[in-house]
Amino acid sequence: MPVDHTKVTDEQMREKLRSPRAAGLLGASSPWMTPAEAATYLGIALGTLRNWTSARYIPFSKRGRVVRYHRDTIDKWLARGGCAGRTTLADT
């Protein structure tokens, strides 16, 4: 049975548009990524991203206990070549 959308109130429509699913469908997603999103974006494991963050290899922002990664900053970081990495005994 089809749904009659003419009976949806303004408040119900606003609530639907505030949902994360609607934001993603409308292309209004935030440039700020959670650690899980950033790890997926970079194609690395979440644990690797956490290690890079604690070693300050990767740019991030932290407010209190909340860590976020800005997509544009990550892209610039990757364009510069990412991190130099660690030197090993074979490198010396």
Distances (CA, A) of 39 to 17, 42, 46, 79: 27, 5, 5, 17
pTM score > 0.75 for this model? no
Q: Residue 76 has which token pair?
A: 């610039």
Residue 86 or 23, more confident: 86
Task: Render 17-56 in DSSP notation, one character per residue.
Answer: HTSHHHHHHHT---SEE-HHHHHHHHTS-HHHHHHHHHTT
Fold of 29-82: Arc Repressor Mutant, subunit A (1.10.10)
Strands 66-70, 32-33: pairing is antiparallel
The pLDDT, as a whole number, for residue 86 is: 63
Beta bridge partners, 63, equal: 66
Domain residues of the chain, as ranges? 29-82
87 pLDDT above the threshold of 80: no
pLDDT (tens digit, 9 = 90+) per residue, 2-28? 666 566 676 776 676 665 555 555 555
